[in-house]
Chain A
Amino acid sequence: MAAVGRLAGGARLSRPRWRTGLLLALPAILIFALLFVAPLFTLVANSFRTQTGAFTLGNYARFLGDPFYRDVLWNTLKVAALTTAGCLLVGYPFALYLRGRSARVRNWLALLLLSPLLISMVIRAYGWLVVLGPNGPVAAVIQWLGLTPPQLLYNDTAVLIGMVHVMLAYMVLPLMGSLDRIDPTLVPAAKGLGAPGWTCFWRITLPLSAPGMLAGAMIVFSLTASSFVTPAILGGPKVKLMPYFVYTQATTTLDWPYAAAIGFVLVVVTTGLLLGYSRLLRRGNGQVVFG
């Protein structure tokens, strides 16, 4: 049954050629089988081993039994949630503003929004080190006001600022799509019936843009929980986040099985939350938002 071309049509194109399809897809299949599926299986298998190779559940018991590591997991979820909230707070008004602009202005602002994703992550984080550093502009403004600048770097706040900077695009783009799909006659109609501006916003614009908000929130949350570069540079060892501990366990402690277990916990927790969340959404308004 596989031997049927997907699109029937002209003489030569319709000939059933699943062999050709397999041949064309073979390089991609090989790359992902050998460099994606196999490494992830190795990782999961190693997470159930001791350093000498015997089977154990100890790595997981160690993770779950250690209040320090539970704290790392908790802090990771907290920073991801705060980043999501920050992106929503900054991104929603920004998306609303973009809605009324010309295609030209929108394109430029969208490019600006995407620029953090296209500039080297290391360099971008380094830029924030300068902005928030003791010789940077933020400290200078605080000093100019006659106050002593606090330590702005190497804490959760610094990580939060850096993460919102990268993730903003992932929030604003779905929001823009969602806002654009709202029937443009609804708000004038409500206004004509005497509803004040705020009521229009609360009862029409906000609920109808919910799919965009939820899609954006989901992407931002999962990407933040698993990002390494920005937290490592802006937070350093003091900020307790899962990806950083995967890195240190693997490269400094050289405890590969434990690093594998932490990594696998990270994958399970984030995808588990996302699955639960999307199930909740589907039940909530009968539509699939993510995808």
Chain B
Amino acid sequence: MTRLFRVLGAAFAALVGLFLIAPVAVTVASSLTATSYVTFPPQGITLRWYAEVFQKPEFLSSFALSAGVALAAAAVSAVVGLAGGLAIHRYRFPGRAALEAVLSSAFAVPTIVLGIGLLQWFAQMGLASSPFTLLLAHLVLTVPYAVRLVLAGLAGLDRSAEKAAAGLGAPPFLVFWHVTLPAVRGALIGGAFFAFITSFDDLTVALFVVTTDLQTLPVRIFNYMQYDYDPTVTAIGTLMVLFAVVAVVVIERFVGVAKLFGADTQERS
């Protein structure tokens, strides 16, 4: 009886695994099809669709825009997140409670509502859409994660090393540079990478901020899909999956992916 349950359990877990990877596996496989329509299993093997991707300048410029904004969002989020995390963790200052409340409620507001709010606010301020406004919009999505990770990094930090350094006469900046910063480095790198992915993948907010000349890659793909249904998109998809895999490996190496989502699967050793 228990044996039967074990087999059933394993079979069920395998099915769930299949369900989880199905859309990605199918995307990767069908990007190789020789047919001009998307099909699975692929018929024939060709790299033609990858060549097509690189011949479409609009996709390349969208990629450049997305990557540039995402890099900037990652850098700014890391710096703002580090400063904000340190401030919340170590100082009492006017507005601290409000800042904490806003940071945690930012997750709860639907991105579509944030997108339309930003659209109306930017219009009221007379800000025309540009890579800069796109960056500003993405910071709202990425900074909370960076602060959250820095706070998690600081919570696990033993302050006696800092006190020892200060007691031995190191000025505050050196204490920060040689003791505090290395301790939260993993959290900071993880936060930056996550900020990069979030910004790079965002469709909802970007849809409201972009114009026809200024489309991020997800917006470009979304618009392209409304009219065309060909394997070029699956080829781009595969490239983006590869991109995500690299990012996940890096995050996993520095912080652990599960931690980003507030769960530590190694809790039980």
Tell me, yes or no, whether A binds B: yes
A residues adjacent to B (C-beta < 8 A): 2-7, 9-13, 17-22, 24-29, 31-32, 35-40, 42-43, 46, 90, 93-94, 96-98, 100, 103, 106-107, 109-131, 133, 135-137, 140, 165, 168-170, 173-174, 176-177, 180, 197, 222, 225-229, 232-233, 243, 246-247, 250-251, 256, 259-260, 263-264, 266-267, 270-271, 274
Q: How far is the CB of B237 from chain A (nearest CB, A)?
A: 4
List chain B residues, Cβ under 8 A from A177: 263, 267
Task: Kindly state the separation between the CA atoms of A46 and B266 in the bound complex, as whole angstroms.
Answer: 47
List chain B residues, Cβ under 8 A from A32: 99, 102-103, 106, 140, 143
List chain B residues, Cβ under 8 A from A128: 23
Query: Contacts A22-B95, A32-B103, A119-B244 given: A226-B110 contact, CB under 8 Å?
Result: yes
- Provide 27 A-B residue pairs closer than 8 Å at the C-beta atoms, listed in order of the A residue: A7-B90, A10-B166, A12-B166, A18-B93, A19-B93, A25-B96, A29-B95, A35-B118, A39-B120, A43-B117, A93-B9, A94-B13, A107-B266, A112-B21, A118-B257, A119-B241, A120-B218, A122-B221, A131-B23, A135-B40, A229-B204, A250-B119, A251-B207, A263-B110, A266-B112, A270-B110, A274-B108
Task: Kindly state the separation between the CA atoms of A50 and B252 in the bound complex, as whole angstroms.
Answer: 50
Known contacts A28-B83, A31-B136, A131-B40; 20 additional CB pairs below 8 A are A6-B90, A9-B163, A21-B90, A22-B91, A24-B84, A24-B87, A26-B83, A31-B139, A31-B140, A40-B117, A90-B16, A93-B12, A120-B201, A122-B218, A123-B24, A127-B237, A130-B30, A135-B38, A227-B110, A246-B113
How many chain B residues sit at the interface, stated as a range, is 35 or more
Q: How far is the CB of A259 from chain B (nearest CB, A)?
A: 6
Query: Contacts A31-B80, A35-B137, A103-B266 given: A42-B117 contact, CB under 8 Å?
Result: yes
Query: Contacts A18-B94, A271-B108 given: A97-B13 contact, CB under 8 Å?
Result: yes
Return the CB mask of B239-269 against A: 1 if under 8 Å, else 0: 0110010011000100001100111011111
List chain A residues, Cβ under 8 A from B241: 119-120, 123
Contact residue among B117, B119, B257 (Cβ-Cβ distance under 8 Å from A111): B257
B222 and A122 contact, CB distance less than 8 A: yes
Task: Kindly state the separation between the CA atoms of A177 and B38 in the bound complex, as whole angstroms.
Answer: 41
Return the CB mask of B147-180 against A: 1 if under 8 Å, else 0: 1000000000001001110110001100100000
7 residue pairs, one from A and one from B, having the closest CB atoms:
A21-B91, A127-B23, A226-B110, A39-B117, A28-B84, A10-B163, A21-B93
A25 and B201 contact, CB distance less than 8 A: no
Decide if the interface of chain A is mainly helix, strand, loop or mixed: helix
List chain A residues, Cβ under 8 A from B23: 124-128, 130-131, 165
List chain B residues, Cβ under 8 A from A233: 222, 225
List chain A residues, Cβ under 8 A from B113: 40, 43, 226, 246, 263-264, 266-267
Task: Kindly state the separation between the CA atoms of A229 and B39 in the bound complex, as whole angstroms.
Answer: 23
List chain B residues, Cβ under 8 A from A11: 166-167
Task: Kindly state the separation between the CA atoms of A124 and B25 in the bound complex, as whole angstroms.
Answer: 10
Contact residue among B116, B136, B201 (Cβ-Cβ distance under 8 Å from A43): B116
B34 at the interface (CB under 8 A from A): no
B26 and A118 contact, CB distance less than 8 A: no
Task: Kindly state the separation between the CA atoms of A130 and B121 in the bound complex, as whole angstroms.
Answer: 38
Task: Kindly state the separation between the CA atoms of A42 and B262 in the bound complex, as whole angstroms.
Answer: 32
Return the CB mask of B115-152 against A: 1 if under 8 Å, else 0: 01111110010000000000011011001000100000
